[in-house]
Amino acid sequence: MSYVYGKSRVGTGTFVGDHVVIGHPSPKELEIFQKNPDVLPGAVIGKNCVLRAHGTIYSKAVLGDGVKTGHYYIVREGTAVGENTLIGSRVVIENNCKIGKNVSIQTGAYIPTNTVIEDDVFIAPNVCLTNDKNPAFIKDWKCDAVHVRECATIAANATILPGLTIGRGAFVGAGSVVTKDVPDFKIVYGVPARITGDLREKLKDLVSGGTALSDRAKRLL
């Protein structure tokens, strides 16, 4: 059984799996929910989406047409997800994030509050974005979110520290810890991550060697 709360809207052609919650109340809406759940704003789900089992989409979240999910995912309140984006299994997207079109967020990735991810970005499994520079024992919490620009790639198990920008077409290697902004098209790798190359040059080498590129890769040349 799935649950649709408040004034949530689900577009035509959308598949909703078992144990999916659409329009879950945010912390600020819990009192309203307990008194009259029908007045909650709810979530908006576009057309032809696939919401697989055991997911929770909070009130005031918006998913565009063609969004697909894995299992056991969370999309928090105020977050907008663009068309044809993939949200993998066990992905957590916190509140007030902006996710573009054709983004792939793979299994186990963590996307914290206020993160901005532009179109055509690839987030590999277990990537961790962060948004707080202070340790937990300091009371003054400040959200300092990450911005990932279009066509960037962040490989598996990479960690991006708060407030950084990953440039257009940049490539972050697996297991890296990124402590500085990554310029457009640069390849970075290591702990801490350092620039090791330029993605455009690598793509040109592949083309000259006869390798066929995807449409996404061609846009970067």
How far is 211 from 199, CA to CA, in rounded Å? 15
Q: Where in the chain is the domain with CATH 2.160.10.10?
A: 103-132+141-221
Q: Check: CATH 2.30.30 for 1-93?
A: no
Q: What is the pLDDT of residue 98?
A: 98
pLDDT value at residue 178: 98
Cβ pair 85, 101 in contact under 8 A? yes
Residue numbers in the chain where pLDDT is lower than 70: none
CATH code, residues 103-132+141-221: 2.160.10.10
